[in-house]
Amino acid sequence: MREGTYKKIMVATDGSVLVKKAVDMAIGISMLSRAKLYAVYVLVPMTHPVRGFGWEQAAIDHFRKEGETATLSVKKAAKASGVEVEPVLLEGHPADKIIEFAEQNDIEMIVVGTLGKTGIDRFLLGSVAENVVRHSKIPVLVVRGEVPEE
């Protein structure tokens, strides 16, 4: 990183409204730094059930399309700000793949969203953001999402 500016920033997205604040923050920082933004979506691998049901490929195709939609949404949102975005689809354990991609591509900041779960919810659901923060050597900006009112 030179003179306090970033050249490569990554935002992890799942396409939900809950990560909108993280995406907006990543776009804003990228715009101010004139950084390239990588919009990363991680497909969680399917376990392989008994053969013959045929739904596995349909599920994989569904999640791949969801990932493409999520990353293109970031690209569209960034276009108005003049931010260059590269959509990236990865497959594996989300926290591991986010860190691995960041390290292999000289990313200078990782932006992730979180719901801020605590207690039993955090224990049961785990937290990609928490795992990224704990294991990344790269700075991580965690942006707390907002649950939309119904």
Q: What is the set of domains in the chain, with CATH numbers? A: 8-143 (3.40.50.620)
d(CA 82, CA 99): 26
Residue 67 has pLDDT above 80, yes or no: yes
Q: What does the pLDDT read at residue 148?
A: 60
Q: Alpha-carbon distance 138 to 86, whole Å?
A: 19
Q: What span, in angstroms and rounded, lies between the C-alpha atoms of 88 and 68? A: 8
End-to-end CA distance of the chain: 42
pLDDT tens by residue, 110-139: 999 986 555 544 443 458 888 999 999 999
Would the pLDDT of 86 be above 90?
A: yes
At 51 the pLDDT is 60
The confidence score (pLDDT) of residue 149 equals: 62
For the chain, give the number of residues. Answer: 150
The pTM (predicted TM-score) of the whole model is: 0.85
Residue 79 has pLDDT above 80, yes or no: yes
Q: What is the pLDDT of residue 120?
A: 47
Q: State the average pLDDT for the chain.
A: 85
Residue 104 has pLDDT above 70, yes or no: yes
Contact between 78 and 85 (Cβ < 8 Å): yes
**Percent of the chain with pLDDT strictly greater than 90:** 62
The DSSP result for 119-135, as a single string, is HHHHHHH--HHHHHHHH
What whole-number distance in Å separates Cα of residue 121 and Cα of residue 134? Answer: 19
Q: CA torsion, points 120, 124, 125, 126, in degrees to nearest 10?
A: 90
Q: What is the DSSP letter of 5?
A: B
- Name the pLDDT band for 23 (thresholds 50, 70, 90): very high
